[in-house]
């Protein structure tokens, strides 16, 4: 096993565990009940996955699916749910920044006074750590929750980048996937923060649960790599069935369209439409992002129509010529065999020309 692969696999999962533990700590601090530390046991699943991946995959990833990202979602999403549902995260003081600065300066002055009276460096480090923890505890709960949301999405993108890739995905495909994830993460963060910050939404417990459910549903696209990979298929089997051939040829494009319609922009549009139509909640940003979701859904449907019509025209054109519509997902195995067969026929025709051409008419 390569040292760099092992290091990336362990460091990335360690970051996941640390971030998950910070979320659990915030839940216990907000709820003021130690029983919520039991949420930390979910990280045992990530530890088990790490051991199995190191043993059977030598630290590298799987095809189409990332178990580490999926388990990171399982470890972190419950903590964010509890923080958003808890009523203490709804409001903050009038000037949280000023309170934070005053407490910080006072505690650091006390730490310096105590360090002057002691010559031990360890005591000073412990005091500084206590002051740092106390300072973090004074930060507004809403700021904490938003920071956890932001770092959660950033770690999903950075973690997917740092995790060792398998042999089924290339660096070029990974770079495309990461760029997609950056835009996706920004849209998801905007949806959660913009809708949950509305005061009328905060007063409705059912609306909070519905928004968090849609938010959780949209997060499920991160463990999957289907956005940049084509599904392999055999031309002999797929040529008989048009839908399977369409899925084989445009699997990545169809997955992106499906994600937008059923996982991200479609559900986001439904939630925002309900907020405006049924609950009569209107603001400038809500109207803007609803219009943006409508535009994206319309463009995705237009893209689907273009792909379908182009594929149908290609099938009709090849059927008229008497050709077999070959799936481009396996260009090496399938087409090499067909090309090799054609090359053999060409070589035979060159080596053994037709008799009528080889026998020239004699003048005698």
How far apart CA 231 and CA 330 sit, in angstroms, is: 9
**φ, ψ for residue 5, nearest 5 deg:** -65, -45
Question: Tokens standing for 273?
Answer: 């439409």
Confidence at residue 171, expressed as pLDDT on a 0 to 100 scale: 84
Confidence at residue 233, expressed as pLDDT on a 0 to 100 scale: 60
Confidence at residue 102, expressed as pLDDT on a 0 to 100 scale: 44
Nearest to 268 by CA among 250, 252, 291: 291
Whether the per-residue pLDDT at 350 is higher than 50: the answer is no
Pick the more confident residue, 327 or 122: 122
Q: Which residues contact 242 (CB under 8 A, 6 or more apart)?
A: 315
CB-based contact 32:88 (threshold 8 Å): no
Confidence at residue 248, expressed as pLDDT on a 0 to 100 scale: 77
pTM of the model: 0.77
Question: Tokens standing for 288?
Answer: 């803007």
CA angle, residues 326, 330, 334, in degrees to nearest 5:
65
Whether the per-residue pLDDT at 332 is higher than 50: the answer is no
Whether the per-residue pLDDT at 307 is higher than 80: the answer is yes
Q: What's the average model confidence in pLDDT over 299-308?
A: 94
Share of the chain above pLDDT 90, in %: 44
How far apart CA 229 and CA 166 sit, in angstroms, is: 13
Confidence at residue 104, expressed as pLDDT on a 0 to 100 scale: 46
Helix ranges restricted to H, 171-262: 171-196, 199-202, 205-219, 235-238, 242-249, 251-262
**φ, ψ for residue 224, nearest 5 deg:** -100, 145
CA angle, residues 119, 122, 124, in degrees to nearest 5:
70
Domain ranges for the chain, please list them.
1-89+140-220, 229-323
Confidence at residue 167, expressed as pLDDT on a 0 to 100 scale: 67
> For 97-144, how does the pLDDT look when each residue is reduced to its tens digit (9 = 90+)?
434 444 444 454 555 554 455 556 666 777 776 676 666 666 778 888
> For 62-104, how does the pLDDT look when each residue is reduced to its tens digit (9 = 90+)?
878 899 999 999 999 999 999 999 865 444 554 444 344 444 4
Confidence at residue 305, expressed as pLDDT on a 0 to 100 scale: 94
Confidence at residue 250, expressed as pLDDT on a 0 to 100 scale: 84
Secondary-structure breakdown of the chain: helix, strand, coil percentages, each rounded to the nearest 5: 75, 0, 25
> Which residues is 65 bridged to in the sheet?
224
Pick the more confident residue, 236 or 266: 266
How far apart CA 238 and CA 218 sit, in angstroms, is: 31
Using the Cα atoms of residue 162, residue 75, residue 263 and residue 210 in order, give the sign of their dihedral. negative
Among 10-19, 119-128, 341-350, the least confident range: 341-350
Determine how many CB atoms are found less than 10 A away from the CB of residue 118: 11
Confidence at residue 115, expressed as pLDDT on a 0 to 100 scale: 47
> For 210-259, how does the pLDDT look when each residue is reduced to its tens digit (9 = 90+)?
999 999 999 999 998 877 766 666 555 444 566 777 777 888 889 899 99
Mean of the per-residue pLDDT values for the chain?
Answer: 79
Confidence at residue 113, expressed as pLDDT on a 0 to 100 scale: 52
Among 108-112, 193-197, 324-328, 355-359, the least confident range: 355-359
Confidence at residue 86, expressed as pLDDT on a 0 to 100 scale: 83
Residue 338: pLDDT band (50, 70, 90) is very low
Confidence at residue 324, expressed as pLDDT on a 0 to 100 scale: 52
């Amino acid at each position: 096993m390569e040292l760099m692969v092992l290091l990336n696999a362990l460091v990335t999962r360690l970051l996941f565990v640390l971030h998950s533990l910070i979320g659990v700590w915030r839940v216990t601090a907000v709820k003021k009940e130690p029983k919520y530390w039991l949420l930390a046991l979910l990280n045992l699943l990530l530890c088990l996955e790490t051991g199995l991946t190191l043993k059977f995959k030598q630290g590298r990833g799987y095809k189409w699916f990332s178990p580490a990202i999926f388990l990171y979602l399982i470890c972190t999403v419950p903590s964010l749910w509890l923080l958003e549902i808890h009523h203490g995260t709804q409001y903050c003081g009038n000037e949280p920044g000023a309170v934070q600065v005053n407490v910080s300066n006072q505690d650091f002055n006390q730490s310096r006074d105590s360090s002057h009276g002691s010559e031990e460096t360890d005591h000073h480090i412990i005091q500084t750590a206590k002051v740092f923890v106390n300072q973090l505890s004074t930060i507004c709960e809403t700021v904490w929750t938003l920071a956890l949301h932001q770092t959660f999405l950033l770690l999903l993108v950075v973690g997917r980048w740092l995790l060792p890739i398998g042999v089924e995905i290339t660096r070029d495909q990974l770079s495309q996937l990461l760029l997609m994830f950056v835009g996706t993460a920004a849209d998801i963060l905007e949806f959660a923060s913009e809708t949950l910050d509305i005061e009328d939404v905060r007063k409705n417990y059912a609306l909070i649960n519905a928004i968090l459910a849609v938010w959780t549903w949209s997060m499920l696209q991160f463990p999957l790599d289907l956005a940049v990979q084509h599904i392999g298929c055999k031309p002999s089997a797929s040529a008989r069935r048009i839908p399977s051939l369409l899925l084989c040829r445009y699997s990545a494009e169809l997955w992106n369209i499906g994600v937008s319609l059923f996982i991200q922009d479609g559900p986001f549009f439904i939630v925002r439409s309900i907020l405006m139509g049924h609950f009569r909640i209107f603001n400038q940003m809500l109207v803007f992002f609803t219009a943006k979701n409508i535009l994206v859904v319309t463009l995705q449907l237009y893209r689907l129509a273009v792909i379908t019509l182009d594929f149908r025209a290609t099938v009709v054109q090849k059927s008229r010529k008497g050709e077999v519509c070959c799936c481009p997902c396996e260009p090496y195995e399938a087409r090499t065999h067909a090309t090799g067969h054609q090359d053999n026929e060409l070589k035979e025709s060159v080596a053994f020309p037709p008799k009528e051409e080889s026998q020239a008419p004699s003048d005698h």
